[in-house]
């Protein structure tokens, strides 16, 4: 049984259709990377899965439950967490408050969850009271991922987690993603420069011009010369 | 002329307290609902008139009207004011359900014009029921007390106005800083789409915004009545320019900025009367507004986008 199933999704902004019928499947425990050029509709797909955009056709199911058209504040309760590509933190709030907001739908004590997140991102524990708006891009990305993990989701959706990060920071982020995945979480990643991401992925697929045009295992995609030339910046 | 300044500073603190309470609502509405509410002043007047109407009702319930200590009003007035605040937010929430809810996706201009329409209707409704002439909360006259060593004269009612404002600002701070709903409000103002992604129900946050903003507006209207000794349907509208100046000075969208801005505008307006004619008071607010928009449009505490 797959965890997330996207079936022939058509979606976009107002009259502008961006996705023209996309299929996607995420299996339990796997990392799936979506690659594709600028403007292909990768972020649009993520937003549609999470309910920020409502699809005009098609269906989305999570754990066999139909979530098509469900609003984000309902989707998040089902065990999906999403880190948007941009503006993925609350800048005027502290690191701790950002993490607390991640667990907004939960009641009760958050200390255990917070300490679990800080084990993954130790840098955060020294910056509790820092306003996230004053942090560097890399630190913000950690806060954003930490926030999403507070809910202990079953599927983590990351939109370009390494974009705009220095190479060494991007490596750290990928290393963390692998660690998170080893704890059993499924991860759906969107990446533009996706070699690092594909290397740790079970599967990958290519989205171009609003259609999924290719799908294979991570290593096979990396080995595919055409895709390498078209989407991975050549050799 | 300069000898009057301590006294004027004190008056400035009194009117600044009222502006701050009014400004908080404008700021919260701007940061959460993303529009400038030109009906906010008239929500203040609405609160002041509802309180006026509730004083006799509180009387029939047997709540004593005898003044508390040196103040010019008693428990009856205080109960009326608290219930008046509640009635104000109920009406404002109803207006949100009836009007603003349909316009959640509308542009700023549409919303701004809507608030102007509501402002006019509200003010004219007040005038229809109570007439344009001033109404009085109490006929009691209160004498100012000379404060030893400071060259100022202070009325107990004025100290009451300042204390109530300080108390409510402190409560608001605790609410925003430490409660789950308060944090969710800050999160929504920071990044509305991310707030939704974390599971915050935006409609509930909007409800809280109106409840807090309208209650504090009503309170500001009542306190303006206590300070001026009378209320008119124009009461809030007349203060709106100063309130917007305060909110923009402090940094629009930041409730702490509204408080700081309120005090600065209130003090500047009063102190200016030592140098220029009282008739120019509104020009002072306008001057601050224009100056701020020219040099630092994000305001003193505003964040750069
Ligand atoms: N909020 C929006 N309103 C209208 N059109 C939008 C909006 N966001 C994106 N688009 C358009 O939708 C198309 C797909 O955008 P999308 O952000 O999904 O691309 P992407 O694959 O994520 O690209 P990138 O790699 O640059 O992040 C683009 O043509 C873009 O201009
Ligand atoms: Mg994108």
Chain A residues close to B197, C-beta within 8 Å: 50, 52, 72, 76, 82, 84
The preferred substitution site among A11, A43, A160 for testing ligand 1, maximizing ligand atoms within 8 Å of CB, is A43
The preferred substitution site among A12, A17, A18, A193 for testing ligand 1, maximizing ligand atoms within 8 Å of CB, is A18
Q: Give just the sign of the alpha carbon dihedral A155, A233, A17, A89.
A: positive
Chain A residues close to B184, C-beta within 8 Å: 101, 104
Which residues make Cβ contacts (< 8 Å) with residue A77, sequence separation at least 6?
A: A105, B199
What's the number of domains chain B is made of?
A: 1
Whether B159 is in a domain gets the answer yes
Q: Which of A129, A69, A119 is nearest to A95 (CA)?
A: A129
* Shortest Cα–Cα distance, A15 to chain B (Å): 16
Whether B282 is in a domain gets the answer no
Interval between CA A43 and ligand 1 midpoint (Å): 7
Quick check: B183 and A100 CB within 8 A? yes
pLDDT number for residue A79: 93
Residue nearest to atom 6 of ligand 1 (CA): A13
pLDDT in tens, chain B (305 residues): 678 899 999 999 999 999 999 999 999 999 999 999 999 999 999 999 999 999 999 999 999 989 998 999 999 999 999 999 999 999 999 999 999 999 998 998 999 999 999 999 999 999 999 999 999 998 888 888 998 888 899 999 999 999 999 999 999 999 999 999 999 999 999 999 999 999 999 999 999 999 999 999 999 999 999 999 999 999 999 999 999 999 999 998 889 999 999 999 999 999 999 999 988 888 999 999 999 999 988 888 876 54
Quick check: B198 and A102 CB within 8 A? yes
Predicted ipTM of the assembly? 0.89
Who lines ligand 1 at CB under 6 A? A 13, 16, 18, 36, 38-44, 85, 192
pLDDT number for residue A159: 94
Whether B48 is in a domain gets the answer yes
Whether B250 is in a domain gets the answer no
pLDDT number for residue B303: 66
Whether B167 is in a domain gets the answer yes
- For chain B, positions 168-187, list CB contacts with chain A under 8 A: 180, 183-184, 186-187
Instruction: Write the DSSP string, chain A.
Output: --SEEEEEEEEEETTEEEEEEEEEEE-TT-EEEEE--TTSSHHHHHHHHHTSS--SEEEEEETTEE-TT--HHHHGGGTEEEE-SSS-S-TTSBHHHHHHHHTTT--S--HHHHHHHHHH-HHHHT-TTSBGGGS-HHHHHHHHHHHHHTT--SEEEEESTTTT--HHHHHHHHHHHHHHHHTT-EEEEEESS-HHHHHT-SEEEEEETTEEEEEEEHHHHHH-HHHHHHHS---
Residues of chain A with pLDDT under 70: 193, 213, 231-235
Domain of B225 in residue numbering reads as 25-231
Interval between CA A48 and ligand 1 midpoint (Å): 12
Angle at A35 between CA A32 and CA A41, to 5 degrees: 110
Q: Which atom of ligand 1 is nearest to the CA of A192?
A: 25
Domain ranges of chain A: 4-231
B201 and chain A: CB distance < 8 Å anywhere?
Answer: yes
Whether B251 is in a domain gets the answer no
pLDDT tens digits along B45-66: 999 999 999 999 999 999 998 9
B127 and chain A: CB distance < 8 Å anywhere?
Answer: no
Are the CB atoms for A7 and A23 separated by under 8 Å?
Answer: yes
**H or E element in which residue B236 lies:** helix B235-250
Partner residue opposite A104 with nearest CB, options B186, B193, B200? B200
pLDDT tens digits along A192-224: 767 788 888 889 888 888 777 677 777 777 777
Whether B49 is in a domain gets the answer yes
B204 and chain A: CB distance < 8 Å anywhere?
Answer: no
Encoded tokens for A106 = 């939960």
Task: Specify the fold of A4-231.
Answer: Rossmann fold (3.40.50)
């Amino acid at each position: 049984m797959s965890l997330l199933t996207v079936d022939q999704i058509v979606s976009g902004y107002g009259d502008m259709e961006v996705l023209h019928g996309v299929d996607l499947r995420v299996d339990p425990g796997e990392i799936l990377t979506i690659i594709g050029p600028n403007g292909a509709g990768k972020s649009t797909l993520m937003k549609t899965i999470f309910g920020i955009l409502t699809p005009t056709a098609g269906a989305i199911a999570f754990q066999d439950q139909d979530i098509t058209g469900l609003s984000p504040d309902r989707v998040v309760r089902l065990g999906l967490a999403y880190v948007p590509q941009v503006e993925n933190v609350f800048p005027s709030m502290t690191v701790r408050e950002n993490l607390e907001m991640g667990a907004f739908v939960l009641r009760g004590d958050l200390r255990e969850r917070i300490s679990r997140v800080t084990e993954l991102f130790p840098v955060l524990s020294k910056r509790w009271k820092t306003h996230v708006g004053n942090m560097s891009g890399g630190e913000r990305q950690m806060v954003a991922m930490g926030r999403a993990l507070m809910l202990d989701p079953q599927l983590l959706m990351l939109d370009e987690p390494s974009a705009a990060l220095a190479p060494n920071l991007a490596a750290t982020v990928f290393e963390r993603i692998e660690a998170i995945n080893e704890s059993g979480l499924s991860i759906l990643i969107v990446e533009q420069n996706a070699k690092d991401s594909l290397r740790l992925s079970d599967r990958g697929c290519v989205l171009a011009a609003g259609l999924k045009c290719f799908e294979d295992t991570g290593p096979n995609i990396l080995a595919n010369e055409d895709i390498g030339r078209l989407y991975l910046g050549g050799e | 002329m300069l000898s009057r300044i301590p006294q004027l500073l004190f008056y400035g603190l009194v009117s600044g307290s009222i502006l701050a309470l009014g400004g908080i609502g404008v700021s919260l509405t701007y940061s959460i609902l993303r529009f400038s509410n030109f009906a906010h002043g008239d929500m203040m007047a609405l609160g002041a008139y509802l309180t006026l109407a509730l004083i006799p009702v509180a009387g029939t319930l047997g709540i004593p009207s005898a003044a508390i200590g040196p103040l010019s009003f008693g428990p009856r007035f205080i109960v009326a004011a608290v219930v008046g605040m509640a009635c104000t937010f109920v009406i404002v929430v109803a207006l949100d359900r009836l009007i603003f809810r349909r316009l959640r996706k509308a542009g700023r201009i549409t919303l701004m014009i809507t608030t102007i329409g509501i402002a006019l209707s509200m003010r004219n409704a007040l005038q229809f029921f109570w007439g344009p002439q001033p109404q009085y909360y109490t006929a009691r006259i209160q004498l100012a007390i000379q404060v030893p060593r400071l060259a100022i004269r202070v009325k107990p009612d004025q100290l009451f106005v300042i204390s109530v404002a300080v108390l409510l600002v402190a409560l608001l701070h605790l609410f925003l800083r430490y409660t789950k709903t308060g944090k969710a409000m800050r999160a929504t103002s920071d990044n509305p789409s991310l707030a939704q992604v974390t599971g915050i129900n935006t409609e509930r946050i909007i409800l809280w915004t109106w409840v807090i903003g309208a209650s504090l507006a009503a309170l500001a209207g009542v306190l303006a009545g206590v300070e001026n000794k009378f209320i008119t349907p124009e009461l809030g509208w007349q203060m709106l320019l100063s309130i917007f100046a305060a909110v923009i000075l402090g940094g629009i969208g930041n409730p702490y900025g509204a408080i700081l801005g309120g005090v600065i505008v209130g003090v500047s307006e009063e102190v200016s009367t030592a140098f220029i004619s009282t008739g120019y008071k509104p020009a002072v607010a306008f001057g601050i507004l224009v100056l701020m928009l020219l040099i630092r449009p994000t305001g003193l505490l505003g964040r750069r986008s």
